[in-house]
Amino acid sequence: MDKRKHTTLSGIELKASYGPEDIGLDRNVAAEAPGTYPFTRGITPEMYREQLWVMGQYSGFASAEEANQRYRYLIEKGQTGFSIALDLPTQMGLDSDHPMAEGEVGRCGVAIDSLKDMEILLEGIPFEKVRQMRTTANAIAPIILAMIVAFAEKKGVDPNGINVLLQNDILKEYFCRGTFIFPPGPSVKLAVDVVEYCAKHLNRWTPMAICGYHIRDAGATAVQELAFTLADAIAYLDAAVKRGVEIDLFAPRLYQFLGAHIDLLEEVAKFRAARRLWAKLMKERYGARKPESLALRIFAYTLGGALTAEQPLNNIVRVTIETLGAVLGGVQTLATSSYDEALSIPTEEAVTVSLRTQQIVAYESGVTGTADPLGGSYAIEYLTNEIERQVNEYLQKIEAYGGAVPCIEKGFFQKELADSAYRFQRMIDSGERVIVGVNRFRDEARSKIPVFKVDPESELRVVERTRKVRQTRNNAAVKRALDGVKRAAEGGDNVIPSIIAAVKEYATLGEICDTLKSVYGSYKPVNIC
C-alpha cells in the first residue's frame, strides 16, 4: 500500500477523513477572523484583496553588470521585488582575488567586493517600482547594509526610502548551510548590531528574516523547520532585548523566511501555525504590545530541494503547487524557483516562466478572492494544531539544551537534520516516497533544455576591478577606517557606523572581515560523527 496517501511529507499520520472532533470541540474556529490575534488566518482582514504579495526571484550571477541586467529585465516583466543572490566567496567574506575564491567567483550569485560593485549592481534600478529588495547576506550583513547606505548617500537618496530586507540570520548557517565566518557568540552580536542600527536609523528596513528555508532544504521536516527557526529567533530577540532595544521598536519589521514544499495541505497548515506560534511567543515571552509585533510577516521561497534534474519540465508543476501552498497559507512575499535550477543558474526563459506562475496564481486562479480560503477545513485545522503542538514539544527540548547557540555548539541541530534527511532519502530509495521521474515513471532520455553558463571571463573582470579599486583609493584613509572598525569591535560597540565609514573609503569586504576576525576569531565546525 502507498504510505504517501497516509502521512504528510513530514510523517504526520493522516486519517481517511476529519470532522469537528479532530480540531477540538472547545475551540470556536469561526470566531478567529483574519487580521486578529493570534493571526492564524492571516495578518490583515482582507489579505490579497487589499494587496498581493511581493513577487520576486532569487537572482544574481557573475559580475555586478550582468546581475544588474537580470534585475532590470525581471522588473520590466512585472516583478515587484528581487533577491540579490551573492556568490559563495562574498558570503564567506572573501574578496574575489583571494586564492580560496578562485573558480567560485560569480558562479552561484553575484560577486560584491567593494562599494564600487554595489554602485554598478544597483545602477538604474527603479526603486520606486520595487516593493522589496532582499539579500542573502548573513555573516556579512553589516557590510552589505553599509554598502547600500553608502550607495544611497552617494546618489543623494534617502537610504530609508529603499525597501530593503536583510536576511541577517547567521545561526542557521552553522547547522545547515555553512556560510559562517565568526563564532556564534560574536555573530549574534553582529546580527543584533544590524537590528539596533535599523531600529534607530533605518526603521523602514527589515533588519532580519529569521530563516527556516535553508533548514528545510537541508532535510528538516515542517515541524523541525518551524521549531529551529523559532529557537534561532529567540536567541536574537533575547540578545536584542538584553541590550535594551525595545521589542516594539523592531519586531514589527521582522520576517520569517520559510520554504514552500510540495505537500500542499501540510504547507498551508505550517504557515498558519507559524503565525500563531509567533503571536503567542511575542505576547507571552516578550510582552509585545503593538499588533504589528504580533502579526508575523512571512517570506516564502518554493523549495529548491524539491526540484529534480530528471525531467526538469516537471518542476514547473512542482513550483506551481508550492506557490499555491504559500498563497493559500497567506505569505507576504514569495520567490519562485525556476524549472532548470537543479541544473544551473536559470535562463531568462526559465525565470520568466517562474514569474508568470506567480502572476497566473494571483490573477487567474481565484484563490486570492478571500482571506484564508482553506480556514475551517477540518483537515487543515487539525494539521495546524498538530504542527503547533509538535513545534512546542521541540522548543521545550531546545530550551532544556540551553537554547539555539548551545544546540549548535553541541551538534544537536546538526544531528537532527542529518537523521531526518537520511530517513527521507531511505524512503525515496525504497520507493516508499514517489518522486516522479526519479524513482518512478522514469525516462532515460536526457533533457535537452538549454542550460545557462556563466562567462568564464567574468571572473577575471571582477578580480581586475577589485585590484584597481585598491590601487586608486586613498589607502591611508582606508587604514584609519579599518582601525576604527577594530576599535569598535574590541570595545563591544555597535560596529555599523564604523563599517559604513570604511565602506565609503572603498575598503573591501575581505579587508573588513579580516579586521573583525582579528578580534572575534574564526569558527571551526562541530564534528557530529
40 contacts 317 by C-beta, under 8 angstroms? no
Mean pLDDT of the chain: 95
Per-residue confidence (pLDDT) for residue 30, from 0 to 100: 59
DSSP state of 45: S
The sign of the CA dihedral 520, 88, 296, 417 is: negative
Per-residue confidence (pLDDT) for residue 32, from 0 to 100: 85
Residue 1 has pLDDT above 50, yes or no: no
Dihedral Cα 257, 260, 265, 269, nearest 10 deg: 0
- Taking alpha carbons only, the member of 192, 109, 204 closest to residue 165 is 204
The grid coordinates of residue 77 equal: 516583466
pLDDT tier, 444 (very low <50, low <70, confident <90, very high otherwise): confident
DSSP state of 124: T
The grid coordinates of residue 106 equal: 560569480
User: How far, in Å, CA of 26 to CA of 24, rounded?
Assistant: 5
| Range with the poorest average pLDDT among 63-67, 140-144, 516-520 | 63-67
Q: Is 78 helix (H, G, I), strand (E, B) or coil?
A: coil
**485 or 62: which leads in pLDDT:** 485
209 contacts 166 by C-beta, under 8 angstroms? yes
- What average pLDDT does range 261-289 have in this prediction? 98
Percentage of residues in the chain having pLDDT higher than 90: 89
User: For the chain, what is the radius of gyration of the CA atoms?
Assistant: 23
DSSP output for 396-457: HHHHHHTSHHHHHHTTHHHHHHHHHHHHHHHHHHHTSS--BTTTBS---SPP--------TH
- What average pLDDT does range 94-112 have in this prediction? 95
Q: pTM value? A: 0.95
Strand order in 255-260's β-sheet?
164-166, 132-135, 81-84, 54-59, 333-335, 297-302, 255-260, 209-211
- Taking alpha carbons only, the member of 276, 260, 180 closest to residue 225 is 260
Per-residue confidence (pLDDT) for residue 26, from 0 to 100: 55
- What average pLDDT does range 486-502 have in this prediction? 98
- Taking alpha carbons only, the member of 207, 254, 252, 211 closest to residue 231 is 211
- What average pLDDT does range 72-79 have in this prediction? 92
- Taking alpha carbons only, the member of 472, 518, 371, 413 closest to residue 45 is 371
User: How far, in Å, CA of 119 to CA of 253, rounded?
Assistant: 26
| Range with the poorest average pLDDT among 244-253, 375-384, 519-528 | 519-528
Percentage of residues in the chain having pLDDT higher than 70: 97
The sign of the CA dihedral 108, 109, 112, 117 is: positive
User: How far, in Å, CA of 419 to CA of 77, rounded?
Assistant: 42
316 contacts 339 by C-beta, under 8 angstroms? yes
Q: Is the previous residue joined to 38 through a cis bond, with omega within 30 degrees of 0?
A: yes
- What average pLDDT does range 205-210 have in this prediction? 98
147 contacts 499 by C-beta, under 8 angstroms? no
Per-residue confidence (pLDDT) for residue 60, from 0 to 100: 87
The grid coordinates of residue 497 equal: 557606523
Amino acid (one-letter) located at 191: A
- What average pLDDT does range 173-196 have in this prediction? 97
User: pLDDT for 14-65, tens place per residue?
Assistant: 999 999 989 875 556 656 899 999 999 999 999 999 999 999 888 888 899 9
User: How far, in Å, CA of 393 to CA of 353, rounded?
Assistant: 40
User: How far, in Å, CA of 302 to CA of 166, rounded?
Assistant: 19
pLDDT tier, 528 (very low <50, low <70, confident <90, very high otherwise): low
pLDDT tier, 3 (very low <50, low <70, confident <90, very high otherwise): very low
Q: Is 203 helix (H, G, I), strand (E, B) or coil?
A: coil
Largest CA distance in the chain: 73
- What average pLDDT does range 257-278 have in this prediction? 98
13 contacts 334 by C-beta, under 8 angstroms? no
- What average pLDDT does range 246-257 have in this prediction? 98
CB atoms within 10 A of CB 20: 11
- What average pLDDT does range 330-348 have in this prediction? 94
Q: Within 13 Å of residue 453, how many CA atoms lie on the same side as its CB?
A: 5
Domains of the chain: 38-430 (3.20.20.240)
Amino acid (one-letter) located at 52: L
Amino acid (one-letter) located at 201: H
DSSP output for 242-298: HHT--HHHHGGG-EEEEEE-S-HHHHHHHHHHHHHHHHHHHHHTT---SHHHHS-EE
User: How far, in Å, CA of 244 to CA of 115, rounded?
Assistant: 32
498 contacts 481 by C-beta, under 8 angstroms? yes
User: pLDDT for 352-365, tens place per residue?
Assistant: 999 999 999 999 99
The sign of the CA dihedral 333, 84, 90, 323 is: positive
pLDDT tier, 5 (very low <50, low <70, confident <90, very high otherwise): low
Per-residue confidence (pLDDT) for residue 323, from 0 to 100: 98
